[in-house]
Structure 1
Amino acid sequence: MKYFTFTRLNPHALVISAALVLSACGSDNNKSAAEVVATPVDAEDQQLTFDASDYTSLTVNIDGTDKAIRQYRIVYVANPIEMATTQSRFGQTITLEDPYVYQTMIISVPEASVEDQSTAIYFAVDNSGWFNSPVSTTITDGAEFVSTSDTDNIGAALKAGYVVANVGTRSRGIRAADGHWAGKAPAPVVDSKAAIRYLRLNDAVMPGSAERIVVNGTSGGGGLTSAVSASGNSADYLPYLNAIGAAGITGSGDKLSSTLNDDVFAAIAYCPINNLGNADIGYEWQYNAVRSDSNTGAINGVAYSAGVQPAASAEMASMFPTYLNNLNLKKDDGTAITDQNLNDLLVGELKAELERQIAAGVTVPNLGETFNVTQRGTTYSLTNNWLTLRGTGTTATVSNIDVEKFLAFVASSINLKTVVAFDATAETGNPSVSGETNLFGSDYYEYGNFNAWTWTNNEVLGDGSGVDDTGLSWADYLADTDSNNLAAQINLINPINYLETADADVAPHWYVRHGMVDRDTAFAMQLTLYYALKNNAKVEDVSFKIPYLVPHSGNYDVQEAFAWLKTTLANNPL
């Protein structure tokens, strides 16, 4: 969408009404009146004016001490989509009291930070599995937090004096009041950007700094965090933002432009399910050789080895090298990253993490000894057949890692996802709507296949997806943008698409974690994201680790993450 224009502002400038300028001039903050541009706003922006007096007072307990909190509940777009009263999330039926709960954010401000317009805004998204996310918060009256805990990120944020924004977004599986599927891609990214734009619009009169937005999410929320943080200020999103009345969008038709920015300061992403358009081929490339009946479930009663899963896995795995090699990613020494050396990079990351743990005094099992791995509340004792150490005690080092045996080890405590892992609906005998397939396609159909193999092999006639229903090959369907926007959907939620171009203002600071026994997406996809970040000139620093024996989860290393964030903020003053 090259015909859109984007107007960049001075990072501290804000287009607001004259009334807001007067309010800003009378407040005690570090943003001078000269930094506020007194320009008339359009009707939608006027509707999105922040009301500092419209809050609820709460008291929470942090580390044994009561703290006063001001909490605001805000619909962050001017034209929110009314949702059906009954919805589904994680397979459970929920009843909505508020039909606009998906485009609402709850902002919690410690009383000590009410006048602090330089503190960070901790922007938390909750889209595990890329599911829809009605806004919610654990910051309630009487709630208790322990800021020193390694699992209490909200307590740590409040203790640090950050503004906490819990953000609801549309995403897969929701229906609007008029019956259409309202959460199709790029809805969650668009809604997140709209919430950021609300914070930008009102930056001069709200606590916290919109120049210090830190996006946090896990799993699908980590993928959303990555997509939002990689695509700052891209004009690709303007028509979608305009449709919901997001702040700062002007013009109409093919003449849309923006008066506000939606880039962010930092991303804290755990196990990000990212790059969905290529996630299946990456998953099969990673795990095809170790799949078996013992670690891959049956589909519709047909065991892995007895059905079409092995052939489907092999065919998809064969597609990944071409994709990866065409990205032209570079290692630190400038040599190309290819399918021939990607697992060497995995070994390097594993070695670094294991030796960090050993140096810290953790007893890491040597070859033939036993790992204790906890997955979903159950602890498994697994023999180490993949890792050889040299030496003993805290000075021991990694001598050898057998990658294939390591991958089998990962799959031995929890089964691999069945084939197909992400674009599962209407494939390999799968009888249900599952995976992320219902994030894509027309809003008149429940789902749409989103990669080449699944499109070609769609098994359900009449679902609006695949060669069987459209008569078009994958390439021809993607090219037919007059009848569908599937190509745009895939690109607009993919951080790699923006890290590989110069068309976006990427967040400069990244903290990315993916657990050592996490099989929910491939290590290959996380390494691809990591090196795409490292290769992007706008990214100033990226902290990436594969934490020791950690399963699919997030916010488990809060002290380390917040120490990183504190240092990053201190090193980048406003």
Structure 2
Amino acid sequence: MGLTAAGAVPALGFAPEAAAAGKDGTVGNGGTVGKGGATVGSGAAADASLVFDPTAYTEQTISIKDTTGTAHSVTYRFFKVASYVAAPVNAAYQSLNVSVPVSIDGTAVDASDAPILFANAVGGYMPSSVANATGISASGMGGGTSRQGLALAAGYVVVEPGARGRSLVDANGTYYGTAPAAIVDLKAAVRYLKFNKGRVPGDVERIVSSGVSAGGALSALLGASGDSPLYDPYLAEIGAADTSDAIFASGDWCPITDLEHADAAYEWCWGANPLASGATVDAPISADLKAQFTAYLAALKLRAKGYGTLTARNLDTYLLETFIQPSATKYLAALTDTARDTYLAANPFITWSVGKATFTWADFLTHVGARKKNAPSFDGFDLSTPECNLFGTGTTKARHFTLYSLRHEAGDSARLDADLPAKLHLMNPMYHLVDKVNPHRAKHWWIRLGTKDSDTSLSVAANLATRLTALGDDVDTAYYWDAGHGADLDPGDFVSWIGEVSGHQGFRSRSGSRGK
């Protein structure tokens, strides 16, 4: 990988502007006035700290393999932004990197109007930092190329933001990365890009987020909650730019979300499955939580074409026929005849007829096997789960965020802390899609999940996709057969999809062809 310091910057097809404006079109020594009257930035120094410098880059050349294994030589400019907010709590996490292709296999690239892949690397709601990165994160899981690498080789701009996370604690013992810090930071990073429209490379109106697990949840939340005023006080506090944080599209892999209902959903889905040790979970607790899911699903009033209103009684059939059996069918159809016969012989619960796989829900659960988590899976009674830490506050490391777990430990009269309902709304995309339908949400969605992923219920991603479809959004959802948590089996298709929904051609064919 070559690394060359940049001097004068040749034209990339984008024209730096003299100043970047906020929503009200103002910028300058007085700062900008945000929604609700909050002042974001104060004076020329604060404004300058949010201005992207198009001359501050290093130029690098990297070899990137596409999904066919073909290597491509990509020369790109790598920009490091010290902080995307004017008043960072910890700039090591509130910073971002921008990678802009300038040539691919010797052919010049103009990325001035290219879509922007906004790829967060959050896992487990932990802190994520890009401050020490010296280039794009091009290596993916299993030795393959990351979505970022494929996107760069497709001619897209790639932004990799950092964000605060639940484990961060200052010298006074105060936790400063708990909810809603991570989503606030990602929104601030989006605002930074939009604040610098015409200065930062790429089309800031075509930002496509991506993330896996907790990062997938945050990507979904970023897509669902665009421009929600609920976040404004938090954004003002860290000096975020006063502009839109709505994004164009959202890519979400195995999102660990809808946390206040996740324990109930988990028992509905995996309640009958044993733990890896062979032991079973506490049956009364599992039954209590499963009953809660029945009530929750009824309250959602989700509807799906051909199924009517989804309930706890027909949701398994809906999941099977809409997501899981098609996943098995696609997997088996791609095998050779010999390999397919071998797989079917080892898995006789599958009926293979006329090129389609069918099976029962009970047999599918047996096929998946051990569940990964005990009950409750997210709001653990002993407060040891990551999600309890996520909802910690001040010097309190972890808190219960469901009445069920709280009252199990503290008695039937216990009440959730007063701030928790609002924070749960801030962390749940479903709130912005069901309770308060957000017209500024992303309208294009890519949702993926492995069928053997028992990190959360298979219903979580399905509920998200079903609600978005009902709202009229463009939703591309698929489950990967026999895949576990974090799987991404069609990254080239995702990158091609970005080109399709954004209307950008570029070099997208280099990432791999889009399967139909």
TM-score band w.r.t. shorter chain: 0.7 to 0.9
Matched pairs, number: 465
CA distance in structure 1 between the aligned counterparts of 2:444 and 2:239, rounded to whole angstroms: 29
Aligned to 1:108: 99
Q: Does the Cα contact within 8 Å between 1:57 and 1:71 map onto a contact in 2?
A: no
Matched, 1:54 2:41: no
Q: Given residue 77 of structure 1, which amino acid in structure 2 is its aligned partner?
A: V
Residues in 2 aligned to 1:107 and 1:187: alpha-carbon distance in whole angstroms: 22
- What is the distance in 2 between the residues matched to 1:488 and 1:123? 26
Q: Secondary structure at the match of 2:309?
A: coil
- 2:393 maps to which of 431, 435, 442: 442
- 1:34-55 CA-to-partner distances (Å, cap 9, x unmatched) read 9978633412444311122222
Other structure's SS at 2:297 match: helix
1:90 corresponds in structure 2 to: none
Match of 2:263 among 264, 280, 287: 280
Report the CA distance between 1:567 and its aligned residue: 1.4
2:294 equivalent among 295, 298, 321: 321
* Deviation for aligned residue 1:491: 1.0
Change (3 A) 1:150 1:360: farther
1:313 deviates by 1.5
Return the alpha-carbon distance in structure 2 between the equivalents of residues 326 and 558 of structure 1: 35
SS in 2 for 1:128: coil
**Contact (CA 8 Å) 1:107, 1:165: kept in 2 or not?**
yes
**Cα deviation digits, residues 427-466 of structure 1 (max 9, x gap):** 6xxxxx23311000322200011112111113xxxxxxxx
- In structure 2, the partner of 1:40 is 27
Of residues 514, 534, 539, the one that matches 2:449 is 514
Match of 1:332 in 2: 305
TM-fit CA distance, 1:197 = 0.4
Q: Distance in 2 between matches of 1:176 and 1:313?
A: 38
* Map of 1:126 onto structure 2: 121
Q: Name the aligned partner's letter for residue 351 of structure 1.
A: Q
1:353 aligns to 2:327 (yes or no): yes
Could you tell me which of 466, 469, 492 is aligned with 1:531? Answer: 466
User: In the alignment, residue 356 of structure 2 is paired with which amino acid?
Assistant: T
Q: What residue number does 1:266 align with?
A: 249
- Tell me by how many angstroms 1:70 deviates: 2.8
Q: Give the counterpart letter for 1:557 in structure 2.
A: D
Code of the residue aligned with 2:482 in structure 1: it is L
Task: Please give the alpha-carbon distance, in whole angstroms, between the structure 1 residues aligned to 2:439 and 2:210.
Answer: 20
Question: Partner letter of residue 283 of structure 1?
Answer: Y
Q: Report matched runs for 1:201-240 at 5 Å.
A: 201-240=195-234
Partner AA of 2:479 in structure 1 = I
Deviation at 1:505, TM superposition (A): 1.2
**1 CA distance for matches of 2:368 and 2:132?**
33
CA distance in 2, matches of 1:362, 1:496: 41
Q: CA deviation at 1:422?
A: 1.4
Match of 1:423 in 2: 379
Q: Distance in 2 between matches of 1:66 and 1:233?
A: 35
Of all paired residues, the percent bearing the same amino acid is 30
CA–CA distance in structure 2, aligned partners of residues 32 and 76 of structure 1: 18
Give the 3 Å change call, closer, same or farther, for CA 136–543 of structure 1 in structure 2: farther
Supply the distance in 2 between the matched residues of 1:173 and 1:137 (Cα, whole angstroms): 19
Q: Which amino acid aligns with 1:356?
A: K
Point out where structure 2 has 5 or more consecutive residues left out of the alignment.
Answer: 1-10, 32-41, 65-70, 507-516
Structure 2 counterpart of 1:561 = 494
Partner of 2:427: 493
* Unaligned segments of structure 1, at least 5 residues: 1-25, 83-99, 249-259, 298-302, 372-381, 428-432, 459-466, 479-483
The counterpart of 1:403, out of the listed 357, 361, 365, is 361
Q: Structure 2 length as normaliser, TM-score?
A: 0.82
**Kept in 1: contact 2:88–2:238 (CA 8 A):** yes
User: SS of the residue aligned with 2:450?
Assistant: coil
The letter for the 1-side match of 2:122 is N
Distance change in 2, residues 1:137/1:314 (3 Å): farther
Equivalent-residue separation in structure 2 for 1:132 and 1:364 (angstroms): 46
Q: Which amino acid aligns with 2:94?
A: Q
Q: 1:177 to 1:572 in 2, by over 3 A?
A: farther
Q: 2:184 aligns with which of 180, 190, 194?
A: 190
Matched, 1:167 2:161: yes
Over 3 Å counting, the alpha-carbon distance change for 1:154 and 1:34 in structure 2 is: closer
Q: Judging changes above 3 Å, is the alpha-carbon distance between structure 1 residues 34 and 172 closer, same or farther for their aligned structure 2 residues?
A: closer
Residue 514 of structure 1 aligns to a residue in which SS?
strand
1:291 and 2:226 are equivalent in the alignment: no
C-alpha separation in 2, matches of 1:185 and 1:196: 18
Distance, in Å, in 2 between the alignment partners of 1:388 and 1:27 is: 56
- Distance across 1 between alignment mates of 2:138 and 2:255: 28
The answer to whether the 8 A contact 1:312-1:419 is kept is yes
C-alpha distance in 2, partners of 1:362/1:567?
A: 31
Structure 2 counterpart of 1:224, which letter?
A: L
Greater CA deviation, 42-51 or 344-353? Answer: 42-51
Deviations 1:223-245 (A, max 9, x none): 11111110000000001111111
Q: Classify the secondary structure of the residue corresponding to 1:356.
A: helix
